[in-house]
Amino acid sequence: MTETKKISRRELVKQGGLALSVLALPFPLTAFSNFNDMTDNKNFDVIIVGGSYAGLSAAMALGRALRNVLIIDSGLPCNRQTPHSHNFITQDGEKPSVIAEKAKKEVLKYDTVKFLTDLAVSGTKTDKGFEIVTQSGKLFSAKKLIFATGLKDKMLKIDGFSECWGITVIHCPYCHGYEVKHQKTGILANGYAAFHLARLIRNWTKDLTVFTNGKSELTQEQSDEIKRHNISIVEKEISSLKHKNGVVEEIIFSDNSTFELEAIYSRPPFEQHCKIPELLGCELTEQGLIKVDAFQKTTVDNIFACGDSTNPVRAVSYAVSTGNNTGVFLNNAMTEEDFLE
Ligand SMILES: Cc1cc2nc3c(=O)[nH]c(=O)nc-3n(C[C@H](O)[C@H](O)[C@H](O)COP(=O)(O)OP(=O)(O)OC[C@H]3O[C@@H](n4cnc5c(N)ncnc54)[C@H](O)[C@@H]3O)c2cc1C
């Protein structure tokens, strides 16, 4: 890979004038580590599909372990609409994209790691490992795969919901609860999820109302417990959220009545962002997460997974931690295999 990098630099310098502009770039190493279709080898030790927090963290461990790694990323992390990310030390309050850019810059300092902005559209098992084809028609091969492809949250069919998502419609009190503490807050959920959220969010604000958006599916016991803590339950159907640039102002119900509030907690359903693991035979859990063991191995040999796609704890710190573990566990497995050869 070092030889490949030299050619890549020489090629760039040859294209007259570029040498100086590269020197002027703030992160020249980043530019050199983007995958170059003309000069870079298309055969890797590991392909990581998904290059957000989990994927970059796995690449850091593998790149430093001298593994040739390709990261393929389509640039759609689940938190892209949230203005500030919280509860991750050293990065508390930072823009999500800034955290990812910093990480990318650090990871791409290693000439063992290449990054391609593209969508992986198919994966095939071969004699030597796997092949991945991308939307732009590129084909890559690798001995091992890591999926760090995250989850896709399925927005509720309520006008304004998706616009407020991650801004004032929030999924997690640990990520955003402090910023809306003591505010007039709604819980948009039904059944046990509503009960669980009411109990949890009461820690951040006592001004709480549960909106079940239709007939309540809470048990009598759960309803009684919620009401005992002065939390009302509203069963009316919601037609839209009135908001300004994602800042919610009121809930508008189907009967045209309204309810003013400042924040809403909701946990919409999700699906795997990428279907390739399932198509390659990786089993999912009942919750729809990729099933992994304690070493982040999926149920298919030589395929690993990490981050949100594998775990109900959705947090940048967790994605970074499971990603890095995956890199370490996978490298350990590869060193053992090499030793036995
Ligand atoms: C609205 C919102 C706000 C949040 N706020 C916080 C917060 O404040 N603090 C916190 O700690 N956590 C927060 N989280 C959780 C945090 O964002 C996630 O835990 C974290 O992003 C998971 O990282 P990941 O790398 O596993 O997945 P993601 O960050 O979702 O990244 C997955 C990547 O894989 C790529 N991808 C998917 N399929 C393919 C494919 N086929 N080919 C190529 N690339 C592909 C995607 O484009 C994406 O870049 C928030 C989540 C949401 C939804």
pTM of the full predicted structure? 0.90
- Looking at the fold, whether 178 and 206 belong to one and the same domain comes out as yes
| Chain mean position to CA 327 | 17
Q: What is the CATH number of the domain that holds 55?
A: 3.50.50.60
- Looking at the fold, whether 186 and 320 belong to one and the same domain comes out as no
Domain endpoint, select from 251, 266, 281 = 266
Asked whether 231 lines ligand 1 (CB < 6 A), one says no
Largest CA distance in the chain: 75
The span from the CA of 317 to the CA of 242, in Å, is 33
Q: Is residue 223 part of a domain?
A: yes
| Chain mean position to CA 255 | 37
CA of 84 to the centre of ligand 1 (A): 14
| Chain mean position to CA 25 | 29
Q: Is residue 116 part of a domain?
A: yes
Asked whether 72 lines ligand 1 (CB < 6 A), one says yes
Residue 67 in contact with residue 46, Cβ under 8 Å? Answer: yes
Overall number of domains in the chain: 2
Report the run of H or E that residue 247 belongs to, with start and end: strand 247-253
CA distances to 99, 271, 273 from 154, in Å: 24, 7, 10
- Looking at the fold, whether 228 and 287 belong to one and the same domain comes out as no
- Looking at the fold, whether 134 and 25 belong to one and the same domain comes out as yes
Per-residue pLDDT of the chain (341 residues), as tens digits, is 333 334 343 343 333 333 333 333 333 333 447 888 777 778 999 999 999 999 999 999 999 999 999 999 999 999 999 999 999 999 999 999 999 999 999 999 999 999 999 999 999 999 999 999 999 999 999 999 999 999 999 999 999 999 999 999 999 999 999 999 999 999 999 999 999 999 999 999 999 999 999 999 999 999 999 999 999 999 999 999 999 999 999 999 999 999 999 999 999 999 999 999 999 999 999 999 999 999 999 999 999 999 999 999 999 999 999 999 999 999 999 999 999 88
Domain endpoint, select from 214, 233, 266 = 266
Instruction: Give me the phi and psi of 142, to 5 degrees please.
Output: -160, 155
Domain endpoint, select from 244, 266, 288 = 266
* Domain of 258, in residue numbers: 161-266
Instruction: Give me the phi and psi of 214, to 5 degrees please.
Output: 120, 180
As beta bridge partners, residue 270 has 153
Q: Is residue 66 part of a domain?
A: yes
80: left (phi over 0), alpha (psi -120 to 50) or beta: alpha
- Ligand 1 pocket mutation, candidates 35, 56, 71, 73, criterion most atoms within 8 A of CB: 73
CA of 319 to the centre of ligand 1 (A): 8
- Looking at the fold, whether 228 and 307 belong to one and the same domain comes out as no
CA of 334 to the centre of ligand 1 (A): 27
Asked whether 79 lines ligand 1 (CB < 6 A), one says yes
Asked whether 119 lines ligand 1 (CB < 6 A), one says yes
- Looking at the fold, whether 258 and 305 belong to one and the same domain comes out as no
CA distances to 291, 303, 318, 322 from 295, in Å: 11, 11, 15, 9
- Looking at the fold, whether 248 and 275 belong to one and the same domain comes out as no
The span from the CA of 16 to the CA of 25, in Å, is 16
Residue nearest to atom 45 of ligand 1 (CA): 50
Asked whether 289 lines ligand 1 (CB < 6 A), one says no
- Looking at the fold, whether 248 and 319 belong to one and the same domain comes out as no
Q: Is 97 helix (H, G, I), strand (E, B) or coil?
A: helix
Asked whether 290 lines ligand 1 (CB < 6 A), one says no
- Looking at the fold, whether 143 and 167 belong to one and the same domain comes out as no
The span from the CA of 42 to the CA of 35, in Å, is 9
Report the run of H or E that residue 325 belongs to, with start and end: helix 316-340
Q: What is the pLDDT of residue 119?
A: 98
Q: What is the pLDDT of residue 40?
A: 77
- Looking at the fold, whether 246 and 324 belong to one and the same domain comes out as no
Q: Is residue 46 part of a domain?
A: yes
Residue nearest to atom 2 of ligand 1 (CA): 79
Q: Is residue 8 part of a domain?
A: no
The span from the CA of 183 to the CA of 248, in Å, is 12
CA of 5 to the centre of ligand 1 (A): 30
Q: Is residue 122 part of a domain?
A: yes
- DSSP assignment letter at 226: H
Atom of ligand 1 nearest to the CA of 73: 44
- Ligand 1 pocket mutation, candidates 121, 275, 308, criterion most atoms within 8 A of CB: 308
Q: Is residue 172 part of a domain?
A: yes
Atom of ligand 1 nearest to the CA of 118: 43
The owner of tokens 């609409």 is 81
Q: Is residue 50 part of a domain?
A: yes
Q: What is the pLDDT of residue 24?
A: 36
- Looking at the fold, whether 197 and 217 belong to one and the same domain comes out as yes
- Looking at the fold, whether 124 and 231 belong to one and the same domain comes out as no
